[in-house]
Structure 1
Amino acid sequence: MSSWKLLFTSLTLSASTSLCAAQPGGNDAQANNPLANMTAFNMQNYYIGDVSGTDKDANQFWLRFAKPFSVDDSNWILRASLPVNTYPTPPDGGHKTGLGDVNLFASWLIDTGNPAVSFGFGPQITAPTATDNALGTEKWSAGLVNVLFNASSPKFQYGYLASWQHSFAGDGHRDDVNLGTFQPFMFYQLGGGTYLRAAPIWVYNFQNDSYSVPLGVGIGQVIKQGSTVYNFFVEPQGSVADHGPGQPRWQVFAGLNLQFN
């Protein structure tokens, strides 16, 4: 599997779900909690201006839906993510656009004893739903996800999303998927619904020992209209360390997240 396909696989687990709940810390403090007990629909985009080893740009647009549910006395969050990928296609030098591989994960919410601290973990699965073999892995993959979000302070919230997945079925002629990601995230409230943010995804590809470590700072705005919360944000990111072809040298992460009461 091409390096940039693994790069886009890693972006399936972006934590910026913007689920705004009536929890300790206030609405602004909870506006980026990926484990909040609310239904959400998100539209997020990564524009990668320079993909290493290709001299080309790339893009990935995400549609995401999150829904809380309960099993007996356990609370869970289910999230489905579907990408629209635009990949460089060497050696012809062009691009191809279409649907990528769909990702599902369910996170079991653990009682931390502090209502301002959310902690969850659970399984994930990625299905080979790409409309073209150049736009996906052609592999079934499964693994684990672990999320922490701390909103104890109304001014500064932080946490992480860690994940790992490995292919277990699919096209035998394609490379296996064996991918780990770690996404630290920090949000600093400026007041009036405006906040500063940093939520890069650090990727390590165990299959070929390539990696990507971007960093960046962005800005967002939370607006409530009736029963819907709108969260707009943009976050430029640049690479501080990377190895191997197909890594983002710089990218812009932007989106609109909707939460429904």
Structure 2
Amino acid sequence: MKNGLITLIILVLLSVEVYGQKSGASQSAAQANNPLANMTAINFHNYYIPRLTDAPKDAYLNNSWVRFAKPIAEGKWLLRVSAPLNTTGIPDPVDGSVNSINGLGDVNAFMSYNFVSKPTATVGIGPNITAPTATETALGTGKWQGGFAMVAFIAKSAVFQFGGLVTWQASFAGDSNRPGTNVAAIQPFYFWQLGKGAYIRGAPIWAFDFKNDAFSVPLGLGVGKVVKVENTVFNLFIEPQYSMIHAGTQPQFQLFTGINLQFMGN
């Protein structure tokens, strides 16, 4: 994990030089963080969570996500599929040693209908479903979950863009021995372009677990860099997040890093 973060930071720094050698990056910067952009995209995201609330001192999580997005019907619809690769570190109550559990989590997908689709504003809503694909009990819910997702991205300014993603889902089938779920998430995002592809960013996820009366409301502030190479837009970022309000076992501090790829003309 640490080596991966170091590599990411080096790539971000090196991209400062690459940017100056490639044309068209400035036109792509404002749309590089648009989750509803009319482009095929692959995202590699990672949340390193070294500190949890209401949990043993040495407990930790590491959640990696591979996301694939594909516009359909000339961009009127967008399909996004997200597969998590999770690690949990749980201290042994007897000797204090940390036991790690690794594997695939529950795969999620949503289909968004973009009823507003303009260069300056994109708004979509559609069904949201999560399948119980976790390879270990601790890494998933054991339940089929369904609900909705609504997302908006406003880019009227070439300097400042903002928007948000709202999701809700509840269990409707699955392992009868596992507890049901009823969860929602609000993800505001905001981006301030600094020029030459560099930007300041924030995209924390405010999570609400209604079944367990647990929630987490983090704030995030990080930096990113957009690099356009021919028909591919690379977006690299690093963003520390800290939970200001929380209840239950939730991330207290986490480091959000990622590499997004958008393929123009696809």
- 1:75 matches 2:69: no
Q: What is the letter of the counterpart of residue 43 of structure 1? A: F
**How many residues are matched?**
233
Partner of 1:171: 175
Distance 1:26 1:225 in 2: 12
> Are 2:142 and 2:174, in contact at CA under 8 Å, matched by a contact in 1?
yes
- 1:250 matches 2:253: yes
How does the TM-score come out when normalised to structure 2?
0.84
Partner of 2:121: 117
RMSD: 1.5
Question: Where do 5+ consecutive residues of structure 1 fail to align?
Answer: 1-24
- In structure 2, do the counterparts of structure 1 residues 30 and 81 end up closer, same or farther at CA, with 3 Å as the change threshold? same
Distance 1:88 1:207 in 2: 24
* Shift of residue 111, structure 1, vs aligned partner: 2.9
The SS at the match of 1:259 is strand
- 1:217 matches 2:221: yes
Distance 1:180 1:91 in 2: 31
> Are 2:28 and 2:233, in contact at CA under 8 Å, matched by a contact in 1?
no
Distance 2:89 2:142 in 1: 17
* Shift of residue 31, structure 1, vs aligned partner: 0.8
- 1:59 matches 2:68: no
How does the TM-score come out when normalised to structure 1?
0.86
Partner of 1:106: 111
Distance 1:43 1:255 in 2: 5
Query: After the TM superposition, which segments of 4 or more aligned residues of structure 1 sit over 2 Å from their partners?
Result: 88-93
Distance 1:74 1:187 in 2: 23
* Shift of residue 173, structure 1, vs aligned partner: 1.1
Q: Deviations over 1:74-132 (max 9, x none)?
A: 810000110100013465641200011100100000136x5411000000100011111
- 1:41 matches 2:42: yes
Q: What is the letter of the counterpart of residue 170 of structure 2? A: H
Asked which structure has the greater CA Rg, the reply is: 2
Distance 1:131 1:46 in 2: 19
Q: What is the letter of the counterpart of residue 97 of structure 1? A: N
